[in-house]
Structure 1
Amino acid sequence: MNSTKRSFDLLASPELVAQSNLSAFMLQCGESDLQALSRRADDDPAWLMQQVFQFCDFRFYKTPQQMLDTSRGIEWARWCIDGTTNIVLNCIDRHRDTAVWERPYLVWEGEDKRAQRSLSYREFDAEVSRLASALLAMGVQRGDCVGLYMPNLPETFIAFFAVMKIGAIVVPLFSGFGPQPLTSRLNDGEVKVVLTADGTWRRGTPGAMKSVLDEALRSVPSVQHVLVLRHLGDALPCSMTPGRDHDWAGAVAGQPTELPTAEMAADDPAVLLYTSGTTGKPKGCVWTHVSFLGSMVTRDMHICADFKASDRFFFMSDMGWMVGAMCACIPSYFGGSLLVAEGTPDFPDTGRFWRLLQDHKVTYLGVAPTLIRGLMRYGDDEVRSFDLSALRITVSGGEAWTEAPWRWFFEHVCKKKLPFLNIVGGTEVGGCNFTGTVHHPLRPGSFGMGGLGVGADIVDDHGQPVAAGQVGELVLRNPNIGFTKSLWRDDERYLDSYWRTLPGIWVHGDFAMRDEDGLIYILGRSDDTIKVSGKRTGPSEIETLLTGTGKVSEAAVIGVPDKLKGSAIVCVCVAMPGVAADTALEQELSAAVVQGMGNSYRPRQVLLVSDLPKTRNMKIMRRVVRAVYQGDSPGDLSSLVNPEAVAELQQRLQG
């Protein structure tokens, strides 16, 4: 594994490094060596955030009197004490009366490319103010939770900011949810108002949303009002409940196009975003008005990952995932622009994703491994036929890479020269645990360093750092401005989930490894670990061998109990188009694992299916695969985008 990674090493050009935001930040901090900056940041995270806020011109109504307070312990760290601000102040209001105000902020394209809209910052702000005024008229007050159950439309982003503009808390919800997961989240947050659409287009078919919400609301007594955007018009009936449901266009008509932004305490809740756990009820993660901007937006994506004001950002995702907030806040904070696309990346044709990049001159592209695995199935020519020369930076996140899709993307999209920066974090940390930068060498799936100031480390079961080449648990040793402020009304679960495994240290739940050159690799969730004959490994190492055959597009490797070895390997794979999913393929895949890992890793079984269970942010859920294989309950499946994959796997095992 290590020798494979050493075989590929790319360095950004000296010009790109010199012109990077990170180089400018180092100059401000008086550090010429990146490792020295990282050590100083870890030693004094409060100093780091003072530098970040200065570098990124963070706006406060009232300047904080103290940057960091850990008097109650690291678990309850508070930031920007006595300061007041608002996410809208920093992402929208800051551009008023500047040249940015008339520039495009949001460009939208529907599933039919003839449906397009563009909003300047001025136009976008006017719509935010109108909707915010309508919410005030409905009785929404500071601290109220407002659900956002919307597809990828301009109004989705307008709503995201409108809720926070008046000091309410936005609760993003995955647009593909059915009634049950909506009910559980709306009840947990005691949501007062829900913003939704009648439906959305998906693969040429109108998909209902309002009727799904109606079913969910039968068991949600807290919701008093529903604001409904008529997006599909006559394509889909939309019933309205008198007294509760309101037409979006009618509600905002006549509302003022200017409205003061609420001055909020820096640590007031702004976003309540639920994680996609598969067991127990989802965890409500709380971002404040300072946390997400101070971590992901400024420190991680601007300083480390080099987003600039001249960039057009595109990461095809859903507002119900962390990336939705990234799409809203990263370009708007710095005066850049955002591309939003409704629908799927491969409809109405398999080249749609690449055409979006070409037509809208995307410069800053975000992808997830699952997206690339899906698109590479259509062949290399799909990419070659489009002009992607506007691209400047590409980033990836969401899950661990296997080498074959990473190399495919780097060769065919990055043309072996564009930076391909890997980032990883989570909803609970509101930013990056590990990050790539243009200052670091680039190898398949690698991260250059830990997030600045977070105290990232890789440790054994006793909390001691492991040596290079050894697999360990990812932990964070420092108070992190991005950390969720407990879990929504559940302090004990917050402590149990992250702080009590190794007291005083945040245990994130990922396995990781450093190579001998200091580059870092995520190997999967630590509860996905496989220990065969005493040796612990992450599933991605074996999955790399399976996808490296070129015969499968996706793989989920799990460990199941074995009396002799401790764990035995089971591989569940999706065959590439045109490849026969038969016994011969199963045998070939098994042989590939043995050849790459040794005979003790010979799979107990290789199963071929048409799809793997995935969350809404397209992470493969190995825990669900393992539970189904062992005949256990797969737990709460509300976070899955394709629960039918679970049923198929169950049928396959029974057969």
Structure 2
Amino acid sequence: MNDSSAALSNLMHEERRFEPPAELADAANVTEEAYERADADPEGFWAEQAERLDWGQKWERVLDWDDPPFAKWFVGGTLNAAVNCVDRHVDAGHGDRVAIHWVGEPEDDTRDLTYAQLRDEVCRAANALTELGVRKGDRVAIYMPMLPETAIAMLACARLGAPHTVVFGGFSADALASRVVDCGASVVITADGGYRRGAPSALKPAVDEAVAKAADQGQQVETVLVVRRTGQDVDWNEDRDVWWHEAVDQQDSGHEAELHDAEHPLYVMYTSGTTGKPKGILHTTGGYLVGTSWTHWAVFDLKPETDVYWCTADVGWVTGHSYLVYGPLANGATQVMYEGTPDSPHKGRWWEIVEKYGVTIFYTAPTAIRTFMKWGDDVPAKFDLSSIRVLGSVGEPINPEAYIWYRETIGAGKVPVVDTWWQTETGQIMISPLPGVTHGKPGSAMKALPGVAADVVDDHGESVPNGSGGYLVLQRPWPAMLRTLWGDDERFKETYWSRYADKGFYFAGDGAKKDEDGDIWLLGRVDDVMNVSGHRLSTTEIESALVSHAKVAEAAVVGAADDTTGQAVCAFVILRESATDDEGAAPDDLIKELRDHVAKEIGAIAKPRQIMIVPELPKTRSGKIMRRLLKDVAEHREVGDVTTLADSTVMDLIKKKEDAGSSDED
């Protein structure tokens, strides 16, 4: 591979800085001194954060790194994740505090659960699972919409020490079956369906199909526990299927929780492998809870007595695990959980919810932010968003212009934006501004959090100078880190630790750069870096240049094979609604204008060979853009597997555009 450092450097520069609001800085949970303290004694720092939780047996050793890359944290300690997320808040006198404001997609379909009510429900579910034969160590698959019962099921499993694997409710029966088989799940918890864009969307049929497929591969699912949500007709197997309300509601609300070893498996979460079967990321109990609870409290400056927190992620993704279930509930937060989509029944639905519940901390993905930009400022302007005091971004790098729009339009020009970098594998936020400390810089995740060691290095693992790019690495273990891949230690070592094995670095698979101040900018997956005439260009930076144009809402860039330059830049662009005519078409001269704009912002080398104006981009339900599908289009290939897309018809629309020849070069 070519040396990356020259190629990924010195493209875009960002001069804008935003200092923390004085009021927030004065009362911030974490201040500047935490960085120095954590650097001086990382293990001591994490031991201090672990004291925020309730332990049975205290640990004998903070970190065992004797057999890298296999870490053990808080060795010898015992605790229960569910007790830390629920019971201890009730015991501390906070039982009347709302834990979850649940909002269904159909309007007026809401439920509020206090911590006392949540504890009772978790205990009932734990008793029901025990009655159904679930024991410590058994794996339970959860395939659910965004319901309180989803979080309750996860916590009930954690209470029993039965590792859960939550499979996103938008995944296919094949995807569910492969995960059930890989982790050996004997119980599946699901619902008849959920609401999506105003209509009931069935889940039980996919479970029935997946259970049959799993049986064909030798994995027998004994029980399917079904929440009644939509009232749709479902096929019923009397020997296997059980209604949640019949199994759970009649249980006793008392349950004596066992304390589990800090390294006891908490959950397995599958991420797509680039080839072959999905990777089962294993997270254990103690370190994960320490990492997620502290970062949630620190990065969002959480004040549980007064804040209303809302993370819009689906619980089927790691963001939903770490920053909707375990982190916030361990901190005793009051939070919003929403079942549906941001545009149902209208495009202001999210802002209506912010206004109604007085949301103070809001955490969402750049793809959602850019969608709102496309819809126009007048949509959020109809709602009172003055309660918001911290905004967060997660999922992929946020373009500087999307950051500015978010801060100005949703944050009234004064609310700090925390642009967080982390992964399914890291379990917790690793790189982020701190809202009471950092002078935020649009588009930059800034620097590693206290207690975390991150750097940008070259091919040889040497730190690159400021103003240069390379590969993002983590230089030492952190509490919420994945422990291995389920059943595959060798793949774990090969995937994450082999590239810089001699240095002991974890390689995240992301390109990054340090700007002139030493702040870190994420440049997307290394696989997405393009090689144009010997220059290694970041898709992220070219996308940011396009989005900085006043008429562009969102852009995705891929490198397509080119006889002359090796690869050429191909861009797919969604325009803001105000930039199109009544028919939704773009002015003829806009393509040239956009190509010239990129050349001006970055340089002629980055000028797109072609730009296609499209109505939508192919995204997974977590908001990630599937660039490989766009590459298929750019290289005139048959489009690959679209099963994980939120809307598989998007690719048909893009193909039609291409066939109509809307991507002329000049």
Q: Please confirm whether the aligned pair reaches a TM-score higher than 0.5, indicating the same fold.
A: yes
Shift of 1:278: 4.9
Amino-acid identity (%): 35
CA distance 1:410–1:355, shift in 2 (3 Å): same
Residue 556 of structure 1 pairs with residue 553 of structure 2:
no
Query: How far is 1:49 from its partner?
Result: 1.0
Paired position in structure 1 for 2:511: 511
Aligned to 1:478: 476
- Paired letter, 1:377: K
Task: Evaluate the alpha carbon distance shift between residue 38 and residue 112 of structure 1 in structure 2; reply closer, same or farther with a 3 A threshold.
Answer: same
CA contact (8 A) 2:472 2:508 kept: yes
Quickly say closer, same or farther: Cα 1:581–1:497, change in 2 above 3 A: farther
Alignment of 1:209-608 (within 5 A): 209-221=203-215, 222-233=220-231, 236-298=232-294, 300-310=295-305, 311-325=307-321, 326-438=323-435, 439-503=437-501, 504-577=504-577, 579=580, 580-581=585-586, 583-608=588-613
2:25: which partner in 1?
Answer: 17
- SS of the aligned residue for 1:77 comes to strand
- For the Cα contact (< 8 Å) 1:543–1:555, is it kept in 2? yes
Mapped partners of 1:18, 1:53: distance in 2: 25
Deviation digits for residues 364-385 of structure 1 (CA, Å, limit 9, x no counterpart): 1101101111122222122122
Cα shift at 1:546: 1.5
Partner of 1:37 in structure 2?
37
1:169 aligns with 2:163: yes
Aligned to 2:80: 86
How big is each residue's C-alpha offset from its partner over 1:376-403, in whole Å with a ceiling of 9 and x where there is no partner? 2222122122111221211111101112
Tell me the secondary structure at the aligned position of residue 554 of structure 1: strand
Please state how far the C-alpha of 1:2 moved relative to its aligned partner.
7.4
Contact 1:317 1:323 in 2 (8 A): yes
Structure 1 counterpart of 2:630: 625
Contact 1:281 1:636 in 2 (8 A): no
Aligned CA RMSD, in angstroms, stands at 2.1
The verdict on how the C-alpha distance between 1:607 and 1:421 changes in structure 2, with shifts beyond 3 A counting, is same
**Structure 1 residues 215 and 559, CA, compared in 2 at 3 Å: closer, same or farther?**
same
Report if the CA contact (8 A) 1:279-1:635 is conserved. no
What's the offset of the Cα at 1:305? 3.5
Could you say which residue in structure 1 is the equivalent of 2:126? 132
CA contact (8 A) 1:400 1:445 kept: yes
**Segment of structure 1 superposing worse, 88-97 or 162-171:** 88-97
Q: CA deviation at 1:572?
A: 1.6
Distance of 2:409 and 2:482 partners within structure 1: 38
Query: TM-score w.r.t. structure 2 length?
Result: 0.92
- Structure 1 residues 61-72: aligned runs within 5 Å: 61-72=56-67
- Higher mean C-alpha deviation, range 264-273 or range 107-116: 107-116
Q: Secondary structure at the match of 1:426?
A: coil
Residue 610 in structure 1 maps to residue 603 in structure 2? no
| Unpaired runs of at least 5, structure 2 | 1-8, 661-666
Q: Is the contact made by 2:403 and 2:443 (CA closer than 8 Å) also made in structure 1?
A: yes
| Secondary structure of 1:97 counterpart | helix
What is the letter of the counterpart of residue 500 of structure 2? Answer: L
Structure 2 CA distance for aligned equivalents of residues 69 and 127 of structure 1: 36
Check if 1:7 corresponds to 2:15: yes
State whether residues 375 and 576 of structure 2, in contact with CA within 8 Å, keep that contact through their aligned partners in structure 1. no
What SS class does the counterpart of residue 324 from structure 1 fall into? helix
Deviation at 1:644, TM superposition (A): 3.0
Q: Does the residue aligned with 1:281 lie in a helix, a strand or coil?
A: coil
Aligned with 2:628: secondary structure? helix
Q: Aligned residue for 1:27?
A: none
Distance, in Å, in 2 between the alignment partners of 1:575 and 1:477 is: 41
Q: Greater shift after overlay, 351-360 or 390-399?
A: 390-399
Deviation at 1:607? 2.1
Q: 5+ unaligned residues in a row in structure 1: which ranges?
A: 24-31
Q: Which moved more, 1:569-578 or 1:419-428?
A: 569-578
Closer, same or farther in 2 for the Cα pair 1:449/1:208, shift >3 Å? same
1:148 to 137, 142, 146: 142
Deviation at 1:5, TM superposition (A): 5.2
Residue range with higher mean Cα deviation, 259-268 or 612-621: 612-621
1:276 positional shift: 4.0
Answer whether contact 1:5 1:444 (CA < 8 A) is retained: no
For residues 526 and 292 of structure 2, the distance between their equivalents in structure 1, rounded to whole angstroms, comes to: 23
Task: Tell me how far 1:133 sits from its aligned partner.
Answer: 0.7
**AA of the residue aligned to 2:291:** S
**Secondary structure of the structure 2 residue equivalent to 1:98:** helix
Whichever residue aligns with residue 604 of structure 1, its letter is R
For the residue of structure 1 that corresponds to 2:327, the secondary structure is helix
Alpha-carbon separation, structure 1, partners of 2:445 and 2:163: 33
Q: Is the 8 A contact 1:272 1:284 kept in 2?
A: yes
Aligned residues: 638
**How far has the Cα of 1:314 moved from its partner?**
0.6
Amino acid at match of 2:208: D
CA contact (8 A) 2:348 2:380 kept: yes
Mapped partners of 2:259, 2:643: distance in 1: 36
What is the CA–CA distance in structure 1 between the aligned matches of 2:111 and 2:134, rounded to whole Å?
A: 29
Moved more, 178-187 or 571-580: 571-580
Q: Deviations over 1:222-264 (max 9, x none)?
A: 211101111112xx21221111101111111321101012211
Distance 1:244 1:12, change over 3 A: same
Q: Deviations over 1:556-590 (max 9, x none)?
A: 11123334434211112223336224654333322
